[in-house]
């Protein structure tokens, strides 16, 4: 562990490559690549330098604790920067702010998380498989430069399960939602000016502003996105929701 103070205005080191997508085993204290067995699901964390996700506990509905990077913390006349001495490691622990929890479940059955697996990992994107057999799993992807997680809810190939599929956001302070077409978002952000949102490509889905959730009808699979927006061009919840249809990386066919 290294703690360094920088005078205001001095550039931070570029060698950490903080924008790379990466996965980390919190119990072992190191980055991991490719196949890796986590002793507990809560040991798994992925990040792209803008947001980071820590997998929730097994035995409960699949969930992700979400944090957003808000920049170095100013203490007096200095930036205080704490990071792991590992290539691509954690950046500025005090500069990450909790945004709450995204839960990926079904409104029709009680599917629980049994394990987490790294499905794909490179500098540009990382995909985790959240194994929950009763609802045929969920797949979550972070891409470089995006403040959102893409959720592929359910398998397109065997095993298949037809059920209502839901993504919801909870947190403290609780998000107050405003309903839009296939999306619910914060119009008055409760956490540090970051508007949270959940969206889907299933426009017949049920949107609940009160529960800050979106639920589809009974289906084999559905696409969702949960993100942390900004009030700048291309980074608003509406514009980020529109990017869910971007197929530049191709269709994820999971098995």
Task: Tell me the domains of the chain and their CATH numbers.
Answer: 2-7+14-245 (2.70.98)
Straight-line distance from the first to the last Cα atom of the chain, in angstroms, rounded to the nearest whole number: 39
Length of the chain: 255
- Confidence check: pLDDT of 165 > 50: yes
pLDDT of residue 79: 58
**Percent of the chain topping pLDDT 90:** 59
> Which structure tokens are listed for 244?
């869910």
Give the pLDDT band of residue 12 (cuts 50, 70, 90).
Answer: very low
> Which structure tokens are listed for 14?
């570029």
Give 222's contacts (C-beta < 8 A, 6+ positions apart).
153, 154, 165, 200, 201, 202, 205, 216
Contact (Cβ atoms closer than 8 angstroms) between residue 16 and residue 83: yes
pTM for this entry? 0.84
Q: Please report the sign of the dihedral spanned by the C-alpha atoms of residue 205, residue 157, residue 241, residue 69.
A: positive
Q: Distance (Å, rounded) from C-alpha 185 to C-alpha 178?
A: 5
Contact (Cβ atoms closer than 8 angstroms) between residue 230 and residue 185: no
Give the pLDDT band of residue 27 (cuts 50, 70, 90).
Answer: very high
pLDDT of residue 204: 84
Higher pLDDT among residues 238 and 12, named by residue = 238
């Amino acid at each position: 562990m290294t703690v360094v103070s920088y005078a205001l205005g001095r550039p931070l080191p570029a060698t950490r490559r903080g924008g790379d997508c990466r996965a980390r085993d919190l119990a072992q204290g190191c980055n991991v690549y490719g196949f890796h067995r986590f002793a507990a699901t809560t040991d798994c964390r992925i990040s792209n330098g803008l947001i980071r996700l820590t997998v929730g506990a097994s035995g409960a509905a699949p969930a992700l604790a979400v944090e957003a990077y808000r920049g170095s913390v100013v203490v007096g006349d200095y930036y205080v920067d704490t990071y792991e001495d590992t290539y691509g490691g954690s950046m500025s622990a005090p500069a990450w702010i909790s945004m709450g929890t995204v839960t990926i479940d079904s409104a029709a059955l009680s599917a629980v998380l049994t394990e987490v697996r790294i499905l794909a990992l490179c500098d540009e994107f990382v995909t985790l498989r959240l194994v929950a057999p009763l609802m045929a799993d969920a797949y979550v992807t972070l891409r470089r430069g995006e403040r959102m997680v893409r959720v592929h809810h359910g398998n397109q190939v065997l095993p298949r399960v037809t059920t209502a599929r839901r993504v919801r956001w909870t947190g403290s302070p609780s998000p107050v939602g405003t309903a839009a077409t296939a999306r619910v978002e914060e119009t008055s952000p409760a956490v540090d000016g970051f508007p949270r949102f959940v969206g889907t490509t299933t426009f017949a889905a049920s949107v609940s502003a009160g529960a800050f959730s979106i639920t589809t009808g009974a289906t084999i699979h559905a696409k969702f996105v949960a993100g942390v927006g900004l009030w700048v061009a291309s980074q608003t919840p509406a514009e980020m929701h529109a990017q869910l249809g971007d197929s530049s990386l191709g269709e994820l066919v999971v098995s």
